Structures are given as structure tokens and as C-alpha cells.
Structure 1
């Protein structure tokens, strides 16, 4: 078995199933006139932090939930909660708090019917395998949530690229914001 080819095929299959309309709605919710907060755990959290960093490069005010310098979310702010299973407790808590403060919530998950999605104003489904999937529903040779996490990174990078086109932000400008 060609493991690398199989992994690439799996990622292509998942990314091709992401709904363009969902991406468009997510892009429309990300605006420079609102603060953006991201939340995630584990490897999904790493991708969420990468997304936050790229948004910062594009000129957005963005924070990572749980960091010591993160301010409180206010009415109108945006929370992007990332959880493959949609069951990560800290991400669900962040979404609940955001809704209590009249914030806007985007849930990025593989599970449309999940606790996280229940708090969302917009759900972005990335239908990659996550650690709780078993048997036929796994659909991947990879361990745990690897397929979701890889696909997540690609989709969030695509969101940033679309935003850069919309905002007319050149690569050179983003590079200038890079440490």
C-alpha cells in the first residue's frame, strides 16, 4: 500500500465534500470591524491557532481562547470553535459563553448534530474521520482524528486565502505582519 498516496486521496475526498456555501458564509462573518476569538483542543487547537495567526497576518484582531492575554468576549465579537467531534468541553463552554454575551459563533466540526453545532450561528462541516468513529464510519487508514485535522488545516487556509482576495491583501502585506 502506498500510504502517502492513500492519505492524499483521503484528504482530497474530504475537502471535496466541504460545501462552498458554508465557506462563503464563514468568510462573510469574518470582518475587520469585529474581534475574532478561536478555540480548540489538541491538534484541532493547533490548527485553530494557525488560523488565528494567519488572520493576524491579514490585519485582523484575533485572540486564542485560554491564553493569558486574551480579553473577555463582548457583544458582536466572533468565536470560531473547532472540534472534530463537536464534543470538546472547553470549546462548547466557549461557544456557550459567547452566545450568553451575544457573540457570533462559527462551529467547525465533522458532526452537524453535535453539542458545539447547537450553539453555532454558522456551522462549517469538514467530514473527516475523528477519534470516536469506528468500523465502517471510519473511512480512513489514519489514526484518531488525523484526517479531520489535515483537512481542517487546508480548509482554514483556503478561508484565509479567500479573505485575502476579498480584502485585497497581497502576500507582501501579509509577510510584513509576520514576526
Structure 2
């Protein structure tokens, strides 16, 4: 397959995913993110990278953000939100973290391509379903010519960026200029 055919096919896959995403589901996720000041995030691999990018933008918005794997992460508890991205909905150590955070009173929001997965079913208070092909996923999603979870990971990155843009647009005292002022300045 030549590159031109490949990129057009991949763009078509993106379109199919974003057409299938439940807008009310995304709206609920946005409202939860807007309502919490202290947000903890967790993810691994390429979907973890998309989640880290989301965490960075949330920090730029002025929220108190903590990455679960960081040694400086404080305790989690009531009044905190944990956003866990796990494509197949059942990554063992992420499931464990979700259970522990829930036991401490945190709200758990799982972002997944497989809402039938164990963590989405058993530990999540809310689930954001991104219907894109995911590695080891079992739910009905948009299939992909790409390997493993590429489509899910790419759509996750774009969806998280769009969510940030929507929150900025809906928040009167927030702007990209204000966010830019919080960007790391020791580069």
C-alpha cells in the first residue's frame, strides 16, 4: 500500500471513530474534568504518552495535576479524580491502582477502547469509551489497518486535545495565553 492510500485510509478510520464517539459521554467527561481541581492520571505505553500530554495541558490550565508513577505524587483521596487510560480495560497494575484510589475515596474515570474490560466494569465510577481498535480489545470498535492499538492511541491524543480546547472555550477566565504563561520556562 502506498503512502497516499495509507494516509487516506487512516484519516477515514479517524472519521469513523469520531463519528461513533458518544457526545454525551464526552460531555460528562468534560464536566467531571472541569469540576475537579486535583486530578491524578495513569496510563502506560503509547496511550500513557497521550495521557501525559493531556496531564500537561491540564497543568497549563492551572489544575493541580499528579502522574501516579511520579515519586513526588501525594496521597489521593476524597475530592480527587483519577483518570486511568487503559485501552483493553484490564491492565493488572492499573486495575490495582484504581482499586486503591477508590478505597481512598477518589472518583475513578476510565478511558478505554474496551468498556467490557475488568477495570472499566469493576473499578470505574465512569467510563469514557473511545471506539477505536485497541491491542487485546474485545469490544466492537472501528477496525484499523494499523498494528496493535495505534488507532486508539492516536485518537486518544486528538480527543484529549479537543477536550482541552472545549474547556478553554467554555471557561471565561481561561485562555491559551494564560496557559502559555504556565509552560515550563527552563528549557
Q: With structure 2 as the length reference, what TM-score do the two structures score?
A: 0.89
Aligned equivalents of 1:110, 1:133: Cα separation in 2: 7
Aligned equivalents of 2:46, 2:96: Cα separation in 1: 18
Q: CA deviation at 1:33?
A: 5.0
Report what 2:22 is aligned to: 19
Report what 2:44 is aligned to: 41
SS at match of 1:30: helix
Aligned equivalents of 1:33, 1:132: Cα separation in 2: 31
Instruction: Count residues in correspondence.
Output: 178
Instruction: Indicate whether 1:175 and 2:183 are aligned.
Output: no
Report what 2:136 is aligned to: 132
Q: 1:138 to 1:29 in 2, by over 3 A?
A: closer
The answer for unaligned runs of 5 or more in structure 1 is none
2:7 to 4, 7, 12: 4
The answer for unaligned runs of 5 or more in structure 2 is none
Is the Cα–Cα contact under 8 Å of residues 113 and 137 in structure 2 kept in the other structure?
Answer: no
5 Å-filtered alignment, 1:41-120, equals 41-118=44-121, 119-120=123-124
Q: With structure 1 as the length reference, what TM-score do the two structures score?
A: 0.93
Q: CA RMSD in A?
A: 1.8
Q: After superposition, give the CA deviation of every residue in 1:99-128 in whole Å (9 maximum; x if it has no partner).
A: 101110111001121112121111100011
Q: CA deviation at 1:45?
A: 0.6
2:162 to 153, 158, 161: 158
